[in-house]
Amino acid sequence: MARITLDHLAHAYKADPRTPDDYALKEINHVWSQGGAYALLGPSGCGKTTLLNIISGLVRPTRGRVLFDDLDVTDLPTEARNIAQVFQFPVVYDTMSVRENLAFPLKNRRVPRDRTAQRVEEIARLLDLTRVLDRKASNLTADMKQKISLGRGLVRPDVAAILFDEPLTVIDPHLKWQLRSTLKEIHRALDITMIYVTHDQTEALTFADKVVVMHDGAVVQTGTPDELFERPAHTFVGHFIGSPGMNILPCRVEGATAVIGDQTIDLQRIYRVPSGGERIELGIRPEFVRLQQKGSGLPVQVRRIDDIGRARIARVEMSGRPLAASVPEGLSIEGSEAALALDPRHIHIYADGHLVSGEPIGGHRA
Amino acid sequence: MTKTVNNRAWLFVLPVFAIVAFSAVLPLMTVVNYSVQDTFGNNQFFWNGIGWFQELLDPSTELGGRFFDALWRTLLFSAIILMIEVPLGIAVALSMPREGWPVALCLVLMALPLLIPWNVVGTIWQVFARSDIGLLGWIVNHLGIDYNYTNDSLDAWVTLVVMDVWHWTSLVALLCYAGLKSIPDAYYQAARIDGASRWAIFRTIQLPKMRRVLLIAVLLRFMDSFMIYTEPFVITGGGPGNATTFLSIDLVKLALGQFDLGKAAAMSLVYNLIILAICWLFYTVMTNVDAERERVEA
């Protein structure tokens, strides 16, 4: 059980990194608190797995330290850290039974046989593996094998954290849900820190209390699923999370007014945007953009309307820029002329991709 | 499911039958023909039934005695080289580099002995191991060890075994290396996290994953060594005495040296049957492994 601290951590696979581009993982300072359920979310190649392998000790970071509580483990090998990892493809020892598989980490650590047996039974019960304990591990399905991999981590009573590297990739869709709830249950039951790497936002948002979004080797936002949805700290987060992602529109901002093309939009806060030639953008989630009849609001051209099950999403074009908007129930648009109403409370302003926090209008007046 | 019956399809198979008949069945039939006849010369043959086979398989007769002696010698030779080449091949494969240019260098160096024609291998070692002018033989003798493969049966055996190990360990090593390369990194990482020792990794990951290629390696090496002819023929000629007269060498002595065609034919057939039987055994074992694997993946 431990708090995991990443202190000025950076990693480059190249021997002699100079520019920031040489780093697969740019400098990260982060604390994973004991007992948290974290998701590390990002597209392929953003450095998630590198970060995970640094925590587990399979990769030694180029710079910075990894601390378990107050102990510096940067130079400790994997086997000396109290960490377990579940990989993308299930790893089981083919020649052993499920029971022997689960007992393997304890056997290697010379735990007395009766304690091992007892612990294996406990973990098997937790993971619902009791039925198959005496079967060959190689004869089982992928989700069972993945449970065994997880079990080999859980069986060690001293394990500080369990790291998951896209563990559901090879699992059948209908079993993914089951396995994910098993993970949640175990997290609640055992008070273990779990770090779950994935590129699937649904997986991340349903599994984790806190989601760490990575992009291009750097952490762009850490927050609860709600925070990521309501206040994306970076246009990447806005775009990557949500389906469809956030609408991002280049604009000009003057005080509490945003100007897009020849349209002006009133904002609820005053933004002091930098004026050094930065890219200024307005972001709003499609959930907060409502399609309505032309006449009032921002005039747009409707391209098509997608039915995504619970809601309808309109794909529209405003001054040549594509946008997504939600279609209220019962609304039908004649022709392609329509308008948009933006909920000003959910408009965010970004400078070079980063969220600009505005000042309340009232505060400015005072 | 109903099978489509189309008898014209047999026409397409006929050429194969014809080729196999001419290349395998007809020559084999002449051997069968000789094996059941005897002659007093002058191309006059008469029926001998299974007489030659009875004599061959009865160790108390002259023919049976030499047959079983040669058979045990051959089996012993195969057993020895398997016991050396398989563990050595695994060890070499384990210590080969995994990435970068040393891989290519290693692979080329290892493949070199495999590319040398067998009688050239024999000639190389025949000269190399000679105690008077051969580099190896000369050095060994000057180290104070009395070594002469033309006089001493043990020396002859050692020479042949060392030669075979030199020639063929690469094959086992290359096959094992291929098996090792197919193991995903995650297995090693998981093993490290599970705190497995080097030996435990070998026992629980590497060896099980190499099982199939090892079976192929053992099969190939067994068959090849059981049929070895060229190298001992060139190096020792089956001597000293009969010390290195393996089945194949004995067969040639019988057929072409003494021209005992009936005996030689019977011996050929039995030799052939032994090899077929062992092949079948290996095949069964290997397909069982595959079947088990398929059951696993299903």
ipTM of the complex: 0.75
Q: Does B298 touch chain A (CB under 8 A)?
A: no
Answer with the one of A216, A240, A264 that is the final residue of a domain: A240
Region of B44 please: left (phi>0), alpha (psi -120 to 50) or beta. beta
Indicate yes or no: CB of B295 within 8 angstroms of CB of A139: yes
Q: Which of A50, A87, A148 to mutate to test the interface with B (most CBs of B within 10 A)?
A: A87
Q: Do A138 and A206 have their domain in common?
A: yes
Distance CA A168, CA A327 (A): 34
| Cβ-contact B105, B161 below 8 angstroms | no
- Residue B298: which pLDDT band, with cuts at 50, 70 and 90? very low
Pairing of the two strands A247-250 and A280-284: antiparallel
Residue A106, token pair as written in the block: 């304890």
pLDDT of residue A364: 47
pLDDT (tens digit, 9 = 90+) per residue, A119-134?
888 888 888 888 888 8
Q: Does B193 touch chain A (CB under 8 A)?
A: yes
CATH number, residue A352: 2.40.50.140
Q: What is the pTM of this model?
A: 0.74
Indicate yes or no: CB of B189 within 8 angstroms of CB of A139: no
- Residue B295: which pLDDT band, with cuts at 50, 70 and 90? low
B23 residue type, one letter:
S
pLDDT of residue A363: 53
Q: Do A224 and A297 have their domain in common?
A: no
Indicate yes or no: CB of A83 within 8 angstroms of CB of B200: no
Q: Does A167 touch chain B (CB under 8 A)?
A: no
CATH number, residue A24: 3.40.50.300
DSSP secondary structure, A60-95, as one string: --SEEEEEETTEE-TTS-GGGS-EEEE-SS----TT
Question: Considering the domain boundaries, does residue B37 fall inside one?
Answer: no
Summarize the confidence of residues B221-240 as an average pLDDT.
87
Q: Taking CB atoms and an 8 Å cutoff, what residues of chain B touch A82? A: none
pLDDT (tens digit, 9 = 90+) per residue, A175-202?
888 888 888 888 888 888 888 888 888 8
- Residue B161: which pLDDT band, with cuts at 50, 70 and 90? very high
Q: Do A208 and A288 have their domain in common?
A: no
Handedness of CA B233, B236, B242, B246 (dihedral sign): negative
Contacts of B111 (CB under 8 A, 6+ apart): B170, B174
Q: Which residue of B has its CA nearest to A141?
A: B297
B39 residue type, one letter:
T
pLDDT of residue B2: 66
pLDDT (tens digit, 9 = 90+) per residue, B12-67?
889 998 998 888 888 888 888 888 888 777 777 788 778 778 877 888 888 888 88
Question: Nearest 5 degrees, angle CA B81-CA B82-CA B84?
Answer: 65
Q: Which residue of B has its CA nearest to A106?
A: B194
Q: Do A225 and A255 have their domain in common?
A: no
pLDDT of residue B292: 66
Q: Does B145 touch chain A (CB under 8 A)?
A: no
Q: Taking CB atoms and an 8 Å cutoff, what residues of chain A touch B209? A: 94
- pLDDT: which is higher, B116 or A25: B116
Domain count, chain A: 2
CA distance B204 to chain A (A): 6
Q: Do A160 and A193 have their domain in common?
A: yes
pLDDT (tens digit, 9 = 90+) per residue, A298-357?
888 888 888 887 788 888 888 778 888 888 887 887 778 888 888 888 888 888 888 888
CATH number, residue B184: 1.10.3720.10
Domain count, chain B: 1
pLDDT of residue B293: 60
Q: Do A174 and A266 have their domain in common?
A: no
Residue B171 above 90 pLDDT?
Answer: yes
pLDDT of residue A365: 45
Q: Taking CB atoms and an 8 Å cutoff, what residues of chain B touch A167? A: none
Q: Does A109 touch chain B (CB under 8 A)?
A: yes
Portion of chain B with pLDDT greater than 90, in percent: 19
Q: How many residues would you count in chain A? A: 366
Q: Do A209 and A130 have their domain in common?
A: yes
Q: Do A217 and A233 have their domain in common?
A: yes
Residue B254 above 80 pLDDT?
Answer: yes
Question: Considering the domain boundaries, does residue B39 fall inside one?
Answer: no
Among A136, A139, A152, the residue with its CB nearest the CB of B194 is A152
| Cβ-contact B220, B171 below 8 angstroms | yes
Distance CA A39, CA A224 (A): 10
Q: Please provide the average confidence, as pLDDT, over all residues in chain B.
A: 85
The residue ranges of chain A whose pLDDT is under 50 are: 364-366
Question: Considering the domain boundaries, does residue B92 fall inside one?
Answer: yes
Structural domain boundaries, residue A171: 4-240
pLDDT of residue B90: 93
Query: What are the residues facing B293 on neighbouring strands?
Result: none
pLDDT of residue B92: 93
Structural domain boundaries, residue B267: 51-297
- The helix (run of H) or strand (run of E) holding residue A25 is strand A25-32
